[in-house]
Amino acid sequence: MPKSKVNRVILCIIDDVRSDQFFSLIKKGLLPNCKKLMESGMYSTNCITDFPALTYPTQVSIITGAHTGDYRYEVCHGVPLSNWMDRNYNPPLVRNYGSKNLDIYKINEDLGDNCKTICEMIQEGNKTSIIQFINRGVDYYFPENKLKLALYYLMIKYYPKFRTTIKYVNTIVIKKLLDIFRRPNHYFETNEAPICSLLWFLTSDMVMHKFGSESLLYKINLMQIDRLMGLLISGLKELGYLDDTAIALTSDHGNYRAQGVGNLDLFYKHTRLSNYHPRKNQKGMMNISEFASLGFFYFNPKNMNLQNASKIKDDNPWFRPSLEFLEAFGTRKINVFNELFRIKSVKLLYYAAETNTPQKGQIFLQRKVNANKLIRGRLEYRGSGENMQTRYVFEDSTQQDVFKYYKNATAVKYLNGKFYGIDEWLKATSHLDFPLYPDLLCRHFKNPRSADIIVSTEGDITYNIEQGKKKSNQVFKHDIGARRSSIVPLIISGSNEIPKGEISYCKITDIIPTLLSLLGKKAQINLIGNNLKNNLI
């Protein structure tokens, strides 16, 4: 393979940025440094994030170039959510990456052994990460230990001058990276500048949840990050590294404003179910791992009615329940589906067939039209990794589909009962709400850590629940399949060796194969993403 003139890459994730808003701010002249990068490299205003549009699973997908799936057997990662439960432990393992227990330090282990980060794929050379904890394979990361991280989080959360705090947090990302480039022997065993750097600007997410993406402070924060990108560019130029460095700038998800905050009092009253806790309530028959506008429900079939008792697996009581269990759940024989649709504003419901395998399976879909009507459909998948194909099958006599693709002339051509790969679904749905869902939902449910049932209010109401507890009354969220939540910006620029132009549509798992190609490196075998140099308009 010929030697590439791009010798290092910087992958920068600005948390919680809608593509339409980002490029609108560029057009208005408010992000001049990002505009400079856009005009001198390749970019897309239509980059599709993963399902669900949550920080940690999407950032893992970006950094590994792989979606989730059955991480025990496939080339994929094992992080389905920011809060999840693993049934393979007894009692089940509960994970919360935002917890005070600093579960975030376990995320590299949770990736599984069948995927690699970009740093692991590059292998030789120094690698660094700044406030990016998905960093397996790096040689130096900041903060360097749990104590520093705890102090860092405490400062962010409790320092009274919020605006001063976010400015400091942003600034330290770029200043620390430039210091690493200036004094590599201070951070590494060799005096070589890093070949790969992972950066995370988390302040945009903090501001969005508090004030919304239309707030002045959110826009000011993006403008400050833009100024820091200018500092990075000028710093790399001064040090002589800009000409051989590729800078990738993207986000993990967009955002939206819910119409209100709900509670689950009536749901708990009707079902009499309690939420599982590994210490406080091991007898809980249900776990709501997280529920903003997307709700993820796990059910414990252990305390079932006597008729089904013989089907319980004593060694692992939290196995994925069958349709039979869910339609007559617990000693009171609750129909779980009916109860979930009774939750205020729940319109969509997804669940996996109990018989699914990593190579073949079905995902059932329901949309509530009104109190008396449901639209039903199903996804069928076969194969794994880049070779997985899915088809979307109607179960409604009116030929309406759950995701409303039937209304679009391009997408409707793919609703013909045939199997299609991920890039074919990308072409069919990249311009719609629920982009790539026929593929991404199947990959998500393949993960044995995924929930039994997923529901959605489509952004009308948010419940703000994490591991069974309500956390806030905030209405600014980012988990649903609407374009405002699922489409993120992408710019790859820096070195003059990077081709210039626009990419009509792409997915976040295309970023790593593109950066590896610029470096002259080969991607891990069976990665799902494409080299975007081949997709320029």
- What CATH number is attached to the domain comprising 149? 3.40.720.10
Q: Which residue among 477, 501, 526 closes a domain?
A: 477
Using CA atoms, how far apart are residues 361 and 378, in angstroms rounded to an integer? 10
Q: Of 429, 454, 477, which residue sits at a domain end?
A: 477
Nearest to 508 by CA among 456, 436, 438, 428: 436
54 domain-assigned: yes
- Pick from 136-145, 149-158, 287-296, 366-375: least confident: 149-158
Number of domains the chain is built from: 2
Q: Is residue 433 part of a domain?
A: yes
Of 143-157, 206-220, 365-379, where does mean pLDDT reach its minimum?
Answer: 143-157
- Torsion angle, CA of 169/175/176/178, rounded to 10 degrees? 150
Mean pLDDT of 496-506: 96
Read off the DSSP letter of residue 355.
T
pLDDT band of residue 95 (cuts 50, 70, 90) is very high
Q: Coil, helix or strand for 317?
A: coil
Q: Are residues 265 and 208 in the same domain?
A: no
Q: Residues 151-164: what's their mean pLDDT?
A: 72
Residue 103 included in any domain? no
Report the alpha-carbon angle 358-427-369, nearest 5: 75
DSSP three-state, residue 170: helix
Q: Do 208 and 270 sit in the same domain of this protein?
A: no
Name the band, by pLDDT with cuts 50, 70 and 90, for residue 278. Answer: confident
The CA distance from 276 to 281, in Å, is 5
Q: Please indicate, yes or no, whether residues 197 and 319 belong to a single structural domain of this protein.
A: no
Question: Which residue range is the domain that position 187 belongs to?
Answer: 8-68+120-257+483-534
Regarding whether 500 and 402 lie in a shared domain, the answer is no
Q: Are residues 253 and 264 in the same domain?
A: no
Residue 383 sits in the same domain as residue 429: yes
- What rounded mean pLDDT belongs to the chain? 92
Tell me the sheet residues that pair with 465. Answer: 291, 470
Residue 302 pLDDT exceeds 70: no
Give Rg (Cα) of the chain.
23
Confidence of residue 310 (pLDDT cuts 50, 70, 90): very low
Task: Indicate if the pLDDT at residue 316 is higher than 80.
Answer: no
| Residue 111 near residue 71 (C-beta atoms within 8 A) | yes
pLDDT > 70: what percent of the chain? 94
Which pair of structure tokens corresponds to residue 506?
């792409």
pLDDT the model gives residue 217 = 96
Q: For residues 175 and 300, state if they share a domain.
A: no
Residue 87 maps to a domain:
no
Same domain, 488 and 456: no
DSSP 134-200: --TT-SEEES-SHHHHHHHHHHHHH-S-HHHHHHHHHHHHHHHHHHHHH-HHHHSSSS---SEEEEE
Whole-number percent of the chain with pLDDT over 90: 79
Residues 350 and 219 grouped into a single domain: no
**pLDDT score for 307:** 44
* pLDDT attached to residue 400: 82
Q: Is residue 79 part of a domain?
A: no
Beta strands (DSSP E) in 292-442 are: 294-299, 348-352, 360-370, 373-382, 389-394
* Residue 147 pLDDT level (bands cut at 50, 70, 90): confident
Question: Does residue 97 lie in a domain region?
Answer: no
Backbone angles phi, psi at 451, to 5 degrees: -70, 165
Q: Is the pLDDT of residue 304 over 70?
A: no
What pLDDT score does 159 carry? 67
Half-sphere exposure for 421 (CA within 13 Å, toward CB): 9
Q: 477, 495, 521 — which closes off a domain?
A: 477
What is the reported pLDDT for 149?
73
Residue 112 falls inside a structural domain: no
Q: What is the 3-state secondary structure (H, E, C) of 119-146?
A: HHHHCCCCEEEECCCCCCCCCEEECCCH
| Position 274 pLDDT exceeds 50 | yes
Rounded Cα gap, residues 87 and 66, in angstroms: 23
33 with 13, same domain? yes
Is the same domain home to 379 and 315? yes
- At 228, the pLDDT band (50, 70, 90 cuts) reads very high
285 shares its domain with 358 = yes
Tell me the per-residue pLDDT of 423-460, one tens digit each, with 9 for 90 and over. Answer: 999 999 999 999 999 999 999 999 999 999 999 999 99
Does some domain include residue 80? no
Six-digit token string for 268? 């708990």
